Each structure stands twice: as structure tokens, then as C-alpha cells.
Amino acid sequence: MRTQTTKLLSVVLILCLVFSLSACGSTDKTASKSEGTVKEIGVGNGKHGDIKVEVTFADGKITNVDVLEQKENEVLAEPVYTQLKDSVIQANSATVDAISGSTATSKGYLEAIQDAITKSGLTLAAVTAVGSSKSKEETEQTFDVVVIGAGGAGFSSAIEVKKAGASVVILEKMPTVGGNTLISGGEMNAPNTWVQQSLGIKDDTPELFYQDTLKGGDNLGKPEMVKILAEQALASAEWLRDEIKVEFLPDHLFQFGGHSRKRALIPVGHTGAELIKKLKAKTDELQIPVKTSMKAEKLLTDANGRVNAVEATSKDGQKITFHANKGVVIATGGFGSNVEMRKKYNPVLDESYMSTDTPGTTGDGIVMAQEIKAGITNMENIQTYPICNPKTGVISLVADSRFDGAILINQGGQRFVEELERRDVISKAILAQEGKYAYQLWNQRIADIGKTIEAHQDEYDQLVKDGLLYKANTIEEAAEFFKIDPKTLQNTVNKVNAYAKTGKDLDFKHRSGLVSLEQGPYYIQKAVPSVHHTMGGLVIDKDTRVLDESGKIIAGLYAAGEVTGVVHGANRLGGNAIADIITFGRISGQTITK
């Protein structure tokens, strides 16, 4: 209160110096401050900490908002600091709708602006609603290729199209690009990479990767598609590194569940943001238009049944037809956020499950393609990710310490599954425990290997704040925090320590060998499974052409990424999504321009 009053007084004083004394003498605050420019700083709480803005007021109106400090996800924050800023200026108010898909950042940003407004002491002039200042879109637009969905698959496809000399547009229904790719851990499997070589892993091959992937999906993936994935993953990784300039950690790999080798490259920052940021930069460099808030609604065909256009709706409700001379690529991702669709194909995964997915993941591409008789497969195979936030359903990236040796225990303080098992197996095992949750336990030694806490400090801080993660000096302290019997937990840890020494996990055969938990401090985190990846989707051939219900090619229609259903079978192995979307995204762009 004191600070606010002082601040207010100083603003008034400054105004007195800047403007005429007679105005300062006025009792009407709006009038007194509306005759010149005032700048005020405000702070709000975003998704990753404070957002600090400087708001400029002139003549009772907000004329500018500059962001001074923030730690938000660059891709998700972009429309907040541009589109939402425009809305605030236009409405002359901080009471405007948040950017969908970036709600937490929007909230913090608007809070900061409101804070500045309050501190300024100004009464802002009411404005009458004005139409969008954005120029209207042409209602008929023509490109060689129309790509639907700005995730990893869509970007990869569009870049290849443009590189081949054809024109291309990307339609994205959300205000932000990136889809699930953006919020994923971003790790990517590939055999024989430069990182494997530098770590001395010399015995990995495309064949081994193929076998792991096929087996990991209970042999329900199409062998010829899995073969392409396994054989081209290295080229895809090199393309990301060399063409797109994605930076991967040079000296660390993850071994996700179901893989017989450590083969997952890790992007810097340990999230898909590195991939999306660089893919978006490449599309900008190539001048590929990306139309956000543009929802594809319908595929149009010519008299011969060839797909030749997409009907879309803009944010303002404008209907636009995007004609495609060469064809359309569906890269709309999965349907993890569509509860009704989940229930239609697998009734178990109803609303009692949260999802790790972005809100745009609603299966639109599958539905649109089905309307023109596209074939679908594996739809009932929906994967839950085992270690997610019990409050939000969001995937825990801090808990990637599991790939460096963290163990899983139940409320009874006992291990119940091999920690590097497949996601579906671990999820099922967790759901079979009392309370349908688990705890992940690791120590500083494990934390120092992958540095997942440093990589995801904001997630860590939030988990601690919510009482879902606790750092303890002793096992006893860790147990007591979550009301686990300390003796049982100590016994479990003693066994783990013994198995770590011999290299033989006699209970669950931990495939990469357990790590000793003798030394603290310890981290213990509560987790639940949450819907993560939909393995089913459109049937495509090896050139990514969409096939109809009878297996015939639908001319002009291509698909790549999570929207397709032929690669992962019953279960997708960790690190295989990025390998899939980049590989087949690129193939779609190359095939369509041949």
C-alpha cells in the first residue's frame, strides 16, 4: 500500500513537471493525466514466473506495451506479446480474451498490464468496439500444396515442398504453432548417431531399432513403415541438425522404455521448443506463410475424387478456400484431447483421465479424411504416459530422471515394475496400485547425470509449491513427507543399492542397471498416468499417400505424423514420435512435389 501511494505520488509529481501546473491542480485524475505520455511498470505471474511490462499511456489510452522481463515458452508467448497486445490497445483495457493454447502466459501478461494501469492511477477512456484492424484474407487462395497443422510433421513437410520449388501454405487452427511437438520432451531416436559414436556405443543398427519398435508396438505397426522409420531416422536427425540447425546435447542420450540401446538424442533445453523454434525460423526464412487461427474444416475433391482444396475458417469466422494444385498434407496430430473420440474408440480412456496434449489435438484430420472415405487403423490403441502431474495431467519432464536410474514405488514403499518398461506397461502397473498413483524416487547422483531439474527448473518449483515433489536429506524424511512407511522404503532402497553393486536387479531386471541410492539428498515425486499419444489414425502407404477404406490411394491426399496409424501399432516407444513425424513429414513433402 505504502509503495503504491509513494509511486502514485511520484507519478503525479513527474506529471506536474512535464505538464502544466494548472492541469495538476485539477481534481479530475483522468483529465490531469490524459494530456501527455505516462509510462508505468506492472508485474503479473505467468506460466514460468513473473512477467514484467512497461505500459505507455497517452490521452487516457494505452498506446504501447513493452515486455521487460519474462521466462515464458518463446513459441507460446509469441501471439500473447503481439496479438494480445493489439487486443489490449484496441480495447484500451486489460479485460480481453486470453490467447487459446497460451492461457497461463496470457493471464500473467494481462495481470501485469492491469497492475500497471492500477499503479498509474489513470481512468482509461472507454472505447467503442472497433472491427479487427487485421486485413481480411482473400477468400480464394491457391498454392501448390496446402499443409494442415503446424506441428513437427507439418513444418517438415512444408519445408521440403518449398525446397523442391513449389508454393505451400500451412494452416494452423490454434493461435500458436507447435502442437504436441512443442510441449514434448523433443527427444528423438536414431541409430548410429554422432552422439552414440562419441559415447562409444558402437553396436546399434537400424535393424535393432526396427526390431525394438516393431516389438514395442506388439507387432501391430506395418513392418515396411517401421523399416522406413528405422532406416531414415539418422538422416532425419542429421537434417534437423544440419538444415534446421537444431542443437542436440553432444554427450547425453536417453534410453527410453522398450529400447535395447541408448539412442534418443536430446535437444538443448530438453523440450520440443528447440525443434519448433528452429523449424518455424526455417519456414520464415523460406517465406512459407503460416496462417494461425485458421481451422481446416473440410477436404474438397474434383469430379474425379482428387483432393484439390481445403475449406477453412479464420478467427473472425471468415470462410476461406485454399486450393491445392498438387495436393493436401494432413498433419493435424492425434486426438488425445478429444474425450468423446477417445471414448468412441476406447471407452476405458474416458474423462477420468487427464491428457498431456495440447487443446488442438482433437482428431480433426482423421474426421475430415473419413468424410471422403479414408481408411483408419489401430484407433483403440491410446497410450497413457505413466509419469504425469496428478493435478494437471501434464507430462513431467523433471521425472525424466527415470531414464538415468530413478525408481518407482507405491504407497506401500515397494517397487512394482521395471522402471524402463514400456509406457503402457508402467501405466497399467501404476493403475493397479493403491490410489492409482506412484512415487518416483532418485538421489543427487542420478539428478546430476541428466540434470533434469536444471533443465526444467520452473516445473520443479511448481511441483514443490504444490506439494507434489519433495527434496529430503534422508530416505526417512522422504517417506514421511508422503506418509510412506519409512522402514519399508528403506528396505526397498537397500535392495536397490545391493542390486546396483552386483549389476543384477533380481526383482525387476532393470535393463540399464540400477544406480545406488546410498547417498542423499533425495527427490520424491508423486505421479499419475495421463493420456499421451494416439497410435491409431489414417492409413498411409510408404510414400505417405492416404489410402481409402478398400486400400486404394486417394489422389491428392497425403498424411504424416501422429494423425497416421500405421507405424507404432499397439504402443509407441519413447523418442519415436519425433523420429516418425520428421521422417514421414519430409517424405510427404518430397513425394507431393515429385
Positions annotated as catalytic residues are: 423
Choose the stretch contacting ligand ADP; rule: CB under 6 A; options: 145-153, 374-382, 469-477, 526-534: 145-153
Figure out which of the listed residues 39, 295, 391, 542 binds ligand ADP, where binding follows CB under 6 A: 295
Q: Which is nearer to ligand ADP, 150 or 229 (CB)?
A: 150
149 interacts with ligand ADP by CB under 6 A: yes
In the three-class reduction of DSSP (H, G, I as helix; E, B as strand; rest coil), residue 329 is classed as strand
333 interacts with ligand ADP by CB under 6 A: yes
378 interacts with ligand ADP by CB under 6 A: no
State the Cα–Cα distance between residues 458 and 448, nearest whole angstrom: 17
Figure out which of the listed residues 108, 375, 413, 561 binds ligand ADP, where binding follows CB under 6 A: 561
Q: Which of 300, 384, 424, 373 is nearest to 538 (CA)?
A: 373
- Which residues are within 8 A (CB) of 99 and not within 5 positions of it... i.e. 6 or more apart? 79, 80, 83, 84, 105, 106, 175, 176
Figure out which of the listed residues 108, 151, 267, 386 binds ligand ADP, where binding follows CB under 6 A: 151
Q: How far is the CB of 577 from ligand ADP (least distance, A)?
A: 6
Give the H or E element holding residue 430: helix 423-431
Q: How many C-beta neighbours within 10 Å does residue 399 have?
A: 25
Q: Which residues of 197-222 are buried (b: 16+ CB within 10 A; e: fewer)?
A: eeeebeebebebbbebbbbbbeebbb
475 interacts with ligand ADP by CB under 6 A: no
Q: How far is the CB of 362 from ligand ADP (least distance, A)?
A: 6
Please state the separation of Cα 185 from the chain's center in Å: 8
332 interacts with ligand ADP by CB under 6 A: yes
Cis before 521? omega within 30: yes
Q: Which of 587, 578, 580 is nearest to 186 (CA)?
A: 578
Choose the stretch contacting ligand ADP; rule: CB under 6 A; options: 18-26, 128-136, 242-250, 326-334: 326-334
Choose the stretch contacting ligand ADP; rule: CB under 6 A; options: 19-27, 44-52, 90-98, 328-336: 328-336
Figure out which of the listed residues 244, 528, 581, 592 binds ligand ADP, where binding follows CB under 6 A: 581
Q: Which is nearer to ligand ADP, 7 or 295 (CB)?
A: 295
State the Cα–Cα distance between residues 349 and 505, nearest whole angstrom: 33
Residue 469 near residue 481 (C-beta atoms within 8 A): no
Figure out which of the listed residues 40, 115, 172, 418 binds ligand ADP, where binding follows CB under 6 A: 172
Residues in the chain: 594
State the Cα–Cα distance between residues 526 and 482, nearest whole angstrom: 9
Q: Which is nearer to ligand ADP, 438 or 563 (CB)?
A: 563
Q: Which residue is associated with the grid cell 487516457? A: 60
**Lookup: cell for 184:** 514434448
Q: Are strands 264-267 and 188-189 parallel, antiparallel or unpaired?
A: antiparallel
State the Cα–Cα distance between residues 580 and 333, nearest whole angstrom: 12
Q: Are strands 319-330 and 553-559 parallel, antiparallel or unpaired?
A: parallel
Q: How far is the CB of 170 from ligand ADP (least distance, A)?
A: 9
Figure out which of the listed residues 273, 496, 562, 593 binds ligand ADP, where binding follows CB under 6 A: 562
Q: Are strands 307-314 and 319-330 parallel, antiparallel or unpaired?
A: antiparallel
Q: How far is the CB of 479 from ligand ADP (least distance, A)?
A: 39
360 interacts with ligand ADP by CB under 6 A: yes
413 interacts with ligand ADP by CB under 6 A: no
307 interacts with ligand ADP by CB under 6 A: no
Choose the stretch contacting ligand ADP; rule: CB under 6 A; options: 8-16, 108-116, 165-173, 194-202: 165-173
Per-residue x/- mask for ligand ADP, residues 9 to 28, rule CB under 6 A?
--------------------
- Cα 332 to Cα 173, 256, 399: the distances in Å are 9, 25, 28
534 interacts with ligand ADP by CB under 6 A: no
Q: Which is nearer to ligand ADP, 62 or 159 (CB)?
A: 159
**Shortest-Cβ-distance residue relative to ligand ADP:** 151
Residue 65 near residue 40 (C-beta atoms within 8 A): no
Q: Which is nearer to ligand ADP, 361 or 583 (CB)?
A: 361
153 interacts with ligand ADP by CB under 6 A: yes
148 interacts with ligand ADP by CB under 6 A: yes
Q: How far is the CB of 200 from ligand ADP (least distance, A)?
A: 32
Per-residue x/- mask for ligand ADP, residues 174 to 213, rule CB under 6 A?
x----xxx--------------------------------
Q: How far is the CB of 210 from ligand ADP (least distance, A)?
A: 21
Choose the stretch contacting ligand ADP; rule: CB under 6 A; options: 40-48, 146-154, 196-204, 229-237: 146-154
Q: How far is the CB of 227 from ligand ADP (least distance, A)?
A: 20
From the number of C-beta atoms within 10 Å of its C-beta (0-12, 13-18, 19+), residue 63 rates as middle
For residue 307, give the DSSP letter.
E
For residue 395, give the DSSP letter.
B
Please state the separation of Cα 10 from the chain's center in Å: 44
Q: Which is nearer to ligand ADP, 170 or 478 (CB)?
A: 170
Figure out which of the listed residues 70, 213, 361, 462 binds ligand ADP, where binding follows CB under 6 A: 361
Residues that contact ligand ADP, how many (by CB under 6 A): 26
Q: How many C-beta neighbours within 10 Å does residue 24 have?
A: 15
Scanning 37-149, the segments in alpha helix (DSSP H) are: 74-79, 85-91, 103-120
State the Cα–Cα distance between residues 539 and 567, nearest whole angstrom: 10
Q: Are strands 140-148 and 168-171 parallel, antiparallel or unpaired?
A: parallel
Q: Which is nearer to ligand ADP, 181 or 452 (CB)?
A: 181
341 interacts with ligand ADP by CB under 6 A: no
Angle between the 206-216 and 223-242 helix axes, to the nearest 10 degrees?
A: 120
Choose the stretch contacting ligand ADP; rule: CB under 6 A; options: 11-19, 410-418, 427-435, 555-563: 555-563
Q: Which is nearer to ligand ADP, 338 or 462 (CB)?
A: 338
Q: How far is the CB of 174 from ligand ADP (least distance, A)?
A: 4
From the number of C-beta atoms within 10 Å of its C-beta (0-12, 13-18, 19+), residue 13 rates as exposed
In the three-class reduction of DSSP (H, G, I as helix; E, B as strand; rest coil), residue 537 is classed as strand
Q: Which is nearer to ligand ADP, 170 or 447 (CB)?
A: 170
Residues near ligand ADP (CB under 6 A): 148-154, 171-174, 179-181, 295-296, 331-333, 360-361, 364, 561-563, 581
